[in-house]
Structure 1
Amino acid sequence: MFITLIADYGIGDPAFAEVTQRLLMALPASQVHCLSVPAFSTLATGFWVAQLGLNPGPEERLIYHNCAPRKDDPEARQNNEGEGLTYALLPNGVKVVGVFAGYTFSFIKDHAQEIRNVKVSRGGSQFRSRDVFPTAATDIAKGDSSLLGERLKPDQIVSAPNDRIAWIDGYGNIKTTIPADTLDLKPETKVAIRVGDVVSDAIYTDGTFDVPEGTLAFAPGSSGWDAADGKQPIRWMELFLRGGSAWNRFGRPRVNQLVTRLG
């Protein structure tokens, strides 16, 4: 089985090694790939759950994710309790098990064949993703449905916003949650984009390299997946500075920050 572990522990944090060990105790022949998202960013978590889960990959796949800001209750927590564990089955057979917090299931809610609560303790450890959740996740991955509880409907899950930064890649390209099909612009149209307090001119294009060196492009990017209704595939808009970094151009904004097209 190919396991993707998505968590906000921090790049290179030994927590990834600790959780990987627990997963491999139950699934010793598996491969585990770790993906670090910014601290408490349920938006980035949910985005990558969908991008990796809804696109082609190995037949036997589990996405195990943990990003638990513990914002479901502002009061003092008893026994380190936090948001509960949830399971989703995608149309291609990919199993998703992770904490139901913020936007973690927002991008897949209309695609999943089923989404269900997992009957496992919500507390018991400060490090639940190592000490409490792996046993449940690996049991489900092996086909044990005894831990699956109440079904969740899509309208019980908050929708992802359509105006935020979802990710900043290693080249400084800014992936947004703006759906490409919501724009009605002709290629080479000049637009103004605001990210945080910074405004920059950009060129709308349907191909990110269709701009001269040093020009900021606003274009459908490399991220997206098939639509739940089988219609036009979902593509997400991206800010791309050819020969440079869009992230630097906009003052190094954070994931979740607002992106606005002016005019």
Structure 2
Amino acid sequence: MFICLIADYGTGDPAFTEVTQRLLQSLPQAQIHPLSVPPFNTLSTGFWIAQLGLNPGPAERLIYHNCAPRQDDPDARQDNEGEGLTYALLPNGVKVVGVNAGYTLSFIKNHAKVLQTVNVSRGGSQFRSRDVFPPAAAAIAQEDFSVLGEPLNPAQLPDAPLDRIAWVDGYGNIKTTIPNYSINLEPQTKVVIRIGDVVSDAIYSDGSFKVPEGTLAFSPGSSGWSSSDGKPTRWMELFLRGGSAWRRFGKPRLNERVTRLTG
């Protein structure tokens, strides 16, 4: 069993080790790979759930995610209660278990063959992903579906916004939630992009390296997946060959709006 643990604990945070220990109690042969997203960032959480879950990988896969801002109710919490746990089954057999918060399910909601609540406590600990949720996740990983509850209606889950920064990779490339099919331009067309207060010229390219050194490209990136009918989606990236697009735009935060002013 290959388990991808996606959470907002923080890069290198011992919380990843604590949760890993709990999962290995029930799944001692599992290989667990952590992926850290920024605090409370459900957009990047949902993006990576889809990117990792809908693309090829080991046959026995579980994505266990926890990014729970506890923003579903602004009132004071009783017993550390937060958003509820859910289960999704993707078309390729990948199981996804985690908190339904913000956009965590937005990228997979229309792909999932099964989408249900999980009958576990919504409270009981400040650290529910360690103290409350692992036994249910392990049961589902082992095909024990007795913990499942009511079906979820995809129409009642939020759509992913199609104009935001989803991720910034280690090279400073900006991965957006702008789908490539929404762009109808000829290669080498000049465009103007705005992020926050920074505006920059860019060149639309159908391949990032088809631009000269030092040129900002706006092109289909390396992230994306196919729908159940085989239709591919790739997400647009801003790529500065020989530099960092993220620095060019003043180091914007994830979730910031990306606006195409011309082109």
TM-score, length-scaled by structure 1: 0.99
CA deviations on 1:35-83 (whole Å, 9 max, x unpaired) are 0001100000000000000000000000000000000000000000000
- Does 2:100 correspond to 1:104? no
* 1:250 positional shift: 0.3
Q: Which residue number corresponds to residue 120 of structure 1?
A: 120
Alpha-carbon distance in structure 1 between the residues aligned to 2:194 and 2:138: 43
Q: Which residue number corresponds to residue 40 of structure 2?
A: 40
Which amino acid in 2 is paired with 1:250? F
Alpha-carbon distance in structure 2 between the residues aligned to 1:230 and 1:175: 22
After superposition, where does 1:114-263 map in structure 2 within 5 Å?
114-231=114-231, 233-263=232-262
Whether the 8 Å contact between 2:225 and 2:233 is mirrored in structure 1 is: yes
Whether the 8 Å contact between 2:43 and 2:255 is mirrored in structure 1 is: yes
* 1:197 positional shift: 0.8
Instruction: Indicate the larger mover: 76-85 or 220-229.
Output: 220-229
Alpha-carbon distance in structure 2 between the residues aligned to 1:65 and 1:27: 16
Question: Sequence identity, in percent?
Answer: 76
SS in structure 1 opposite 2:260?
Answer: strand
Alpha-carbon distance in structure 2 between the residues aligned to 1:58 and 1:131: 27
Alpha-carbon distance in structure 2 between the residues aligned to 1:198 and 1:238: 16
Unpaired stretches in structure 2, ≥5 consecutive residues: none
Alpha-carbon distance in structure 2 between the residues aligned to 1:241 and 1:163: 19
Alpha-carbon distance in structure 1 between the residues aligned to 2:228 and 2:138: 27
How many residue pairs match? The answer is 262
CA deviations on 1:4-53 (whole Å, 9 max, x unpaired) are 00000000000000000000110000100000001100000000000000
Alpha-carbon distance in structure 2 between the residues aligned to 1:135 and 1:128: 11
Which amino acid in 2 is paired with 1:116? Q
CA deviations on 1:176-207 (whole Å, 9 max, x unpaired) are 00000001000000000001110000000000
Alpha-carbon distance in structure 2 between the residues aligned to 1:94 and 1:45: 16
* 1:228 positional shift: 3.5
Q: Which runs of 4+ in 1 moved over 6 A?
A: none
Whether the 8 Å contact between 1:110 and 1:228 is mirrored in structure 2 is: no
* 1:156 positional shift: 1.4
* 1:152 positional shift: 0.9
TM-score, length-scaled by structure 2: 0.99
Which amino acid in 2 is paired with 1:97? V
CA deviations on 1:81-138 (whole Å, 9 max, x unpaired) are 0000000000100000000000000000111001000000000000000000011101
